[in-house]
Amino acid sequence: MKNTGTAIGSHAPDFELPGIDDRVYHLARYLDQYRVVAVIFMCNHCPYVGAYLERLKQLQADFQERGFTAMGINSNDMRDYPEDSFESMKRFASFKELNFPYLRDANQDVARGFGAQKTPEVFLLDREGVIRYNGAIDDNAEEPTAVKEPYLRSAIGSLLAGESIAIASTQVVGCDLKWRPSES
């Protein structure tokens, strides 16, 4: 299946995915509830996800009262990467004390629809479901105290304030998404 992708300024593909809490998450329902939603393609074993996890949890804590939520989505192939299985996701989320939903995209359709390529990769949506930002969380995966450009934090703040986003797209630094082998 071809990775189609969705451009900034276009409506994000709607989805319904199972969460690690055994609930089903439907993007359209979240867009009804929240003013801004960050869809973050992530996984359990990527060192870049590990480096950014505390920052993502802090963003959720800082902005949730203002109408923001993050949604983590793991689309990695679990046949070749069993550490990304649904059961492993549950253990990971519990151990890391995630404060946002963590969802499983087992058939990888959601990742393809968004055009995700890396973990972690962010797609920031406004209340109408339009992608307003795509890219990295910030400009320094290794050292949180050395961040000069907090891309995602700035984009969330701008959307919540009803302003346009100064930097709408950035280069994603992370691990390649682990695609299932083509089935012939």
Per-residue model confidence (pLDDT) at position 184 = 40
Per-residue model confidence (pLDDT) at position 4 = 57
Residuewise pLDDT in 10s, the chain (184 residues): 344 578 999 999 999 999 999 999 999 999 999 999 999 999 999 999 999 999 999 999 999 999 999 999 999 999 999 999 999 999 999 999 999 999 999 999 999 999 999 999 999 999 999 999 999 999 999 999 999 999 999 999 999 999 999 999 999 999 999 999 875 4
Per-residue model confidence (pLDDT) at position 5 = 78
Q: How far is residue 163's CA from residue 94's CA, in Å, rounded to a whole number?
A: 35
Amino acid at 134: N
All residues at 6 or more sequence positions from 16 whose CB lies less than 8 Å from its CB, including other chains: 24, 25, 26, 27
